Structure formats: structure tokens, C-alpha cells
Structure 1
């Protein structure tokens, strides 16, 4: 009966999801000194277009649309996930990912790790300037790291003992320990702004500087901000003094806010936009693909339910209740109805596309009788009432409606708490939440999303609401042993942590969604091919049209 009702309910599916990459507050950890190794300095790989690739054309304004646009332009400690990647035209990263999940240089030219001396040394790209004309140098990087440390928003800041400016283009981080994730956390998550512009704007008043930075951004990127209307549009104009000769190709980018996926789809079909960012609306994807639009398919999003299980007063502090919730949900059925074949139902904290996936591991398949039994054992034989926080997006509403129906069958009455993106992000990534939250996270090609989102020192879900067992935390730390220099060496340990999360019913994995970018056939962009946070607008271009 549930499946029939849900099929009718979800005849029309509208989806709009957000990539969750933010900043985290580290916890203090003690790490013993690892054996000495000195990896070779990392340098960027040369990329040359093949004969099959068309030659980039310069000029034009790329008209893009998205369900969320930046609200905070330049003050990193308070940025929401989309604030970071959508400001990449202006504020670049120290490092990036390649298509295989390897960390590659960007504003850094290379780096050295000394695991005996416990140092990480960054060698910075020379000749780069911020938009205000000041130099990108080691002191600027030190200042940006220090801001992250002082505001407790630098991931794994507990590992940083001190910062040493060796020379104009070399910064050395003295560490308390080392693990293979640090390069990513200190490189990929670092988007430096101009210290001079920030301090000058406040005239010595830090609060005035923060207020200014929320509405302004001075980075090193290929574009500058020419117009910003919050929740309306942000416009980027070509930086004529950009450090890569001959780039960017585009004259500018306009990013408009269109939260309704039906309106966004109509805008694309009317030819009023060239590109639609971060799309997971299944029907829109299928329809526009059939009509000849180009689709950049990404790795998708890991959708799940998180609990306030760290609260001893919450019913979800009881493992049997969390287990009951998982048994009560028929994930393959819901994924099939919502995703029309594009969703992958999940039974562990990993999709089949992720290196840490455990073949055959499905700890709690759909079983209503088992769910009711566990609730009775937890002292809740007639069920209970609870709430679920979700964003005000069609995808979230549809998914939660399905979850309500299944949980209702075992006596759990769920009341949706629908929040606008401001309140939603503020709760999930900042102030915290009660009961259940329906959410999603990016799937990293490097497997580091285990740590970014759910590990001992998460960057995104860092509110402390979710209980993490000592066994899970220990297995996460074991996979960070200094003897491992990359994800491949650490992979067996990562799988052990994934299995432990499943045994603990730490969260409820639901399904992987097919997030993507939709664009006109004449648009060339890498957005979403690697990950939802990877976009190199300096290389975007459009054929004459």
C-alpha cells in the first residue's frame, strides 16, 4: 500500500540540492612522531588540448543560474558551502583536485613534507597579485591560516604548532603530527583573500572588516566582482591582470538566483541562460538531455539522515531506535520512485562508486517487523513523535514525504521542519539541530569525505549533535596513521571505519543522487565532472553562437 501511494505522490519530481562543503572546528589530538619520509615536491601537470578538442574562443558573458548563490563573498570563517565554490572566479585555492582525486598545485607551486621534523612547507607561485595590487606571498598565506586558526574554522588546526615565513614565497608549517589528509585540508580548503584589503576596510576595527568582507571579495582569481545583489545576482568581470597569460577566456560571468527548478528549466529552454549549476532534478535532467542540452555528470551526493544522538534526552541516543528507523525504510523502493533509475540506494556510508565501498555489506535491509521489535525493546512499543529538519527544496520535500510514510508504518510520527537555506545551513553547519535532519554531502574522489563530513574533526557536520562511538573514532584515527601517505595505503582502515559506522547505526544512508551541471552545447566547462566544489572558471569558454 505504501509503495502505491508513494508512486502516485511522486509522479512529478522536482529536485534542487546543495553541495555541502564548509569549515570545521578541530579537536585537540595527540599524535606520535611518524617515521621519516620526504615525498618529492608536487608540481602541476601540463595539460595540452588534444586534436579532438576545439580551440577555446575568447569573449562573451556566461549567463549561469543556480538554486543558491553566495550570501557571504569574502569572509571565510562564516561561509556556507556554496559561498566557497561559487566564489572561485574571485578567490582561488592553494591546491585543487584532478579527476583521480589527487591534490594538485594551484596558488602553490609545490610542497614538501618532512615527517621526522614534522613540517609541511609550501612553495608559492611567484608573480601573483591580489586584485588590490598587493602581492600574494608567504605572509599573506600565514595571515589567512592564522585567521582560520583564531576563528577555529581551519580544519585540523590542532595539528598546527606554528607558522614560519621562510622567505617571500615559502611558508613552513610546524606540526604536532602528520597524516595524509592534512595536505587536502590545508591546501584544498584554503582560499586566501588580501590581508591588506581586509584590514584597510575596517580601519583597525575588526568587526567593520568582517562586515565589509561579507559583501566584498579581494582574491587572486581570474575575475572580480562587479555587482552583487543578495539573493538576486552576482556578476563577475574579467581580471585583465590575471597571472595565467591569455586567460580567462570569458569576459564575464553572471550568476542569477533561481530556486525553483521548473523556472530554471524553462529559463534554459528559452535560451535565457547558458548554464545551470548543481542540478539533481531528475525529470529536468532527463528532459533537457533529450532536448540536446549538454550534461556534466558528477559523482553525485550522499543523502542521509542524521540524528541528535549525542543528546542523552533524545530517543535517538538509543541505538535500538536508530536501528529501528533504518529497518523501517525501504530505500530501494524510494530511490526507484524518486530517481527514475538515476538514484543508487545506499546501505552503508559509501556508494558503489566510492573506493571505500564494502561489497555485500547491508546491515539493516527493509524489515518492518524487526523495526517494531526494536522499538518495543527500546521501551517505545507504540512509537513516538519527532521532527525532521529539511531545506525548502522540492527534492527534500519529496524525500521526507516518503520517509514519513514508511516511518509512520512502525509508529514513528514525523513532523517536517521546513527551513529556508539560511536557517537550514545555520543549523546543520553551525548552531545545531534537534531530532533528525535530512541532508546531503559531497562524494570526494580522494575518500576524504569520511573525515570532511563524519570523522573525528569534521569540516561540515561539526555541531556535535551526532554520537560517534569510541570504536568508530579509533578506526578513523587508525586510518590516519602517519605510516600511510595516501588514500590507497589507508583504504583498508577506511573500510573498517565505514563498517563500524554501520554497526553503530551512526547515521542512515539513503541514496546517491545524480548531481550535475546542465549547459548549452556551445558551453565548455569542467564544473561538476570531478566534484561539486571543483570548478575552474578560468578555463570556461563558449563557442560562437
Structure 2
């Protein structure tokens, strides 16, 4: 269970404990964090869905835009756009893509086509039709933004008003999931009439709620769509996101019932709140869309020490992930040393393990030409649970001779850096999935829009391409396993620390929300209701 009896130690105690462990020569004890986190079940039948009420959710961060999906490169904000913007499909709890705006689709690897048959009589919030032309326009908008998710599309045919065929240059087994998940449909008319900048802050979609207002740094408000295409839905009168960066303030707002649910609270806050029976904590158990964090070096800069593979390998030995997860993060995390959870279907058990070994790290640094270590920077993202980790990383690195200066940057600056260049080590925070070719291409390939300041080995590029071109599960799985080896054993492209179960704290009268039931950061605002 997510719950832990012991209290999370304050940061200064944590760091002292970590340093003590290092000096004692301990290799770190095994993590006791369970991988069987189960979302709490409803204690009693709430009865039939009830209409009314506004669902209020707090978040410490907010997106750069809410109405221009191609420019929204991070998936951590998708839930904040979900009330307004919908997609062709949606994942179920087995990781299978199911139709939403689409009625069905047909894939043909031999012909290299995907044909979508759309649901009829659906309108955008501005009264214009959702149809094949709109779908084509939205996909082409992603193409113009050079998004990797739509790479390899040769052309798009509007067969008729409710049928659109996507023609590929070569078969891509990941493309259907990419098109159905990432492309949130917006009104072409509203975008072209008002412009890109206007669209970024005025989402016009097909969703169960319509846009009301966005006061940056304060709130995003939506109201019920009285003409929603799913009859009888939504149940709520509105959805409101409150932006509360400070964890103590967010916790207090939740306890005072100023918000009904809180995203991204630090683990210590979650543990304390979970002790109260009037609150509920739901965690992600499907392995779909988990957040993974760690460190990624600027290996793409030839003048950086991190461009040397031996220095990156030293990083893998320098930090004791098991002890950090057990002693610092405590609940809600699982150690990982590859992409995704160690219990995942794409985990490669044959990849070499790099257990904590500071002496080995020092030896590798000496072999790389840094016997006395070197100075570097560690970019830190304040907020979430991130703020407790940089000082701990810093102490580990110092022990092997790497003097890391922690540099705090805000969310806007963070996204700017990971989309261009940074100096030294960057906090790595990504959404993972068993579909490695799709997700590694988003973060680790030459086509990536995030974490671009890294070396891109040709072998990794070739394996991503092979996995996407697979026409059977066996071939794709083999590419997955080889990718894990190439990324983490052969090239040390980044240092993975842990997978979070993404706990959300909420009041138990929130019903049928779908929070953490299928894919991380995805829920069903149209089906959510509040029991009285």
C-alpha cells in the first residue's frame, strides 16, 4: 500500500542521513517500496450519478498554453485541457486504445494506411462541425510544428465527411496511439479566425466543458457544455483548476475544502493526509503514463565533461537510488534503472546493473581524465517533490569529486532550457509507457522537442525506427529490449532514479472520475460527479 507509518524526515535530516550512509561505506539497503499500490475502492455504493457542483482541483504548476496542443510538449498538463479538448481515442486500464471521437479505425501495415471512421453530429464549441476535414487540419498542425509523434505521414485523405485516411511513408506501429492520444482536437475555424496566440489561451474543442477564463498563476475555469455530444453528460456544472505552487498552502486549501482534489503534492504531505479517513489517495497501478525522474547530462555539448561516456557511467555508480527512494522519497515511488518500472513488460533483465559504488565512479572519472573531479551545474525544478532531491544528488556527487552547483529555475525557464540547451545536469522528468519507440522518440531522439541537448547514438535512432516499423508484437518487443540496453548500458543517456505512482489526494464524494485508473494525467471529466 502507498501508506507508510513513519513520518517523512525533514530535508536537513535526510541529507545528513544520506551522507552518513555514504561515509559508512554502505552500498544502500533494498527499497521496501511496494509495487502493488492499489487505488482505494469505494466504501459504499454512492447511488446514481447526481447533477451539479463544480469540481475544484489544485496544481502547483500550470501549462504555457491550454488551447494550442502542438505547442504543449509536456503531457503533465493534459488533464488541465481535458475538460475542453478531446481526442480520437482513449486508453483503457489494459493499455488498449479505445475509440472516443472516432467510431472505429482500421490499420493496414501492407498498404501503410490507418483509416479513421468518425462519430457523426459532433460540434466544436464555436458551432462548427467536427469532421474529417477538421481531423486532417489538426494532424497537419502537428506536422507544421514538426512534432515527432506525426513523423512519417506521407499524406492525409478526406475520403468523405466522416472518414479520413492517413498514408504513411513506412509502417509505424506506434502511430495510431500517437494520433489518438496526443492530438487534442481544436476548432480550425476558431484558430484561423483569431490566430495562434489567441488560441493558446482560448481552447475551443468538442469537450464536455467550455472555456470561461484563465488567470495566469491563479486559476483556469470551465463551465458545462449544454450541447455536449454525449447525451446526459456532463454531470458537473463546471471544473476549476487552482494554481497553488506552495505545498503547505495547497495542503491547507485541500483540508479547508477549498479544492476537492490535489495533484502533485509532495509525498510527505500525501502521507499525512492519508492518515485521515475523510480523505482518499488514488495511485496509478496500470504502468501507463507513470512519471519517471532522474538526471540527464548535456552530453550533446562536445566541450562538456558529460560528453564522455565514462563520465556518464560514473554517474550511474555515484548515486544510491535505493537509499534515496527508501530514506528520502519514502512512499509512492519505486526504484528503476531503465525506462519504465522494473516490473514492466519492456524491462530488460539482461541489461547490466550499476549498483551504487563510489570507488568505481572515481576510477571511471580518473580514466576519463578527471582524477580530481570537475565542476558542473545541476538544474533544479522547484515545486512538486523535486526540491528535496538536488541537495541529496549534490552530496553524492561531491563524494566522488564532482562539485555540482544547484541552479533553481521556474517552470517556464525549465521548459525553455530542455527545449534548447542547458549546462551540466538537468532534472529529468518524463512520462513513460511500454511503447518505447513512441516515447523514447519524444525525449531521446534527434526528433525530440524535449531534452535536445544530448548525444544521439545512431544505434538508438535505428532501434526506435525498427520498433516503429514492427508489424508484429515479437519484433516490437525485441526492439524494446535492445533499446533498454543501448540507452542504459551502452550509452548512459540519462540516470534513472524512480517511478512515481502519481498519488492524487481527493475527497471520497468524487465519483467516476477515472483518476489514475488508466493512464497517468488522464481522467474523465464528462463522467465525473459529486455525491451529496
Partner of 2:33: none
**Partner residue, 2:368:** 378
2:516 matches 1:518: no
1:65 to 1:510, Cα distance in 2 relative to 1, 3 A? same
Residue ranges of structure 2 left out of the alignment (5+ in a row): 1-8, 18-41
Assess if the C-alpha contact under 8 Å between 2:158 and 2:165 holds in 1: yes
What SS is found at the alignment partner of 1:417? strand
SS of 2:182's partner is coil
Deviations 1:233-252 (A, max 9, x none): 11110000000000001010
Deviation at 1:179, TM superposition (A): 2.0
Distance 2:173 2:366 in 1: 44
Choose from 495, 498, 501 the match for 1:508: 495
SS at match of 2:200: helix
The aligned residue for residue 255 of structure 1 is 241
- Does 1:288 find its partner at 2:255? no
Corresponding residue of 1:37: none
1:490-526: per-residue Cα shift (whole Å, max 9, x none)? 2232112112212121111111223121110111221
**Corresponding residue for 1:324?**
314
3-state DSSP class of the match of 2:468? coil
2:422 corresponds in structure 1 to 433
**Whole-Å Cα distance in 2 between the matches of residues 78 and 342 of structure 1?**
30
- What's the CA shift for 1:11? 9.3
Change beyond 3 A, Cα 1:475–1:110: same
8 A contact 1:347–1:365 mirrored in 2: no
Say if 1:296 and 1:518, in contact at 8 Å, map to a contact too: yes
User: Over aligned residue pairs, what C-alpha RMSD do you find?
Assistant: 2.4
Question: Normalising by structure 2, what TM-score?
Answer: 0.87
Asked if structure 1 preserves the Cα contact closer than 8 Å seen for 2:299 and 2:307, the reply is: yes
- Which residue matches 2:29? none
Identify if the C-alpha distance between structure 1 residues 85 and 91 changes in structure 2 by more than 3 Å, giving closer, same or farther. same
Residue 91 of structure 1 corresponds to which residue in structure 2? 85
Matched residue of 1:515: which SS? coil
Give the aligned partner of residue 21 of structure 2: none
**Aligned partner (choices 396, 404, 413) of residue 414 of structure 1:** 404
Shift of residue 531 of structure 1?
Answer: 2.5
Are the equivalent residues in 1 in contact too, given 2:432–2:439 (CA < 8 A)? no
Q: Is residue 115–residue 163 contact of structure 2 (8 Å, CA) maintained in 1? A: yes
Moved more, 450-459 or 378-387: 450-459
Relative to 1, partners in 2 of residues 1:110 and 1:193: Cα closer, same or farther, differing over 3 Å?
Answer: same
Aligned residue in 2 for 1:156: 150
* Partner in structure 2 of residue 204 of structure 1: none
Contact 1:305–1:438, Cα closer than 8 Å, also in 2: yes
Find the aligned partners of 1:128 and 1:502 in 2 and give their Cα distance: 46
Correspondence 1:102-121 to 2 at 5 A: 102-121=96-115
* Structure 1 stretch displaced more, 447-456 or 52-61: 447-456
TM-score (norm 1): 0.85
2:199 aligned to which of 213, 216, 222 = 213
Tell me the residue number matched to 1:28. Answer: none
| Gap change, CA 1:228 and 1:326, over 3 Å in 2 | same
Contact 1:301 1:441 in 2 (8 A): yes
Secondary structure of the residue aligned to 2:207 is coil
2:257 aligned counterpart, secondary structure: coil
Closer, same or farther: CA 394–522 of 1 in aligned 2, 3 Å: closer
Select 1:101's aligned residue among 95, 108, 111.
95
Say which is worse superposed, 79-88 or 301-310, in terms of deviation. 79-88
Which whole-Å CA distance do the structure 1 matches of 2:218 and 2:170 have between them? 45
Report if aligned partners of 1:348, 1:362 keep a CA contact under 8 Å in 2.
no
Deviation of 1:74 (Å): 1.0
**Alignment of structure 1 residues 324-363 onto 2, 5 Å:** 324-359=314-349, 361-363=351-353
In the alignment, which of 8, 15, 27 is matched to residue 13 of structure 2?
8
1:139-178 to 2 correspondences below 5 Å? 139-153=133-147, 155-157=149-151, 159-178=152-171
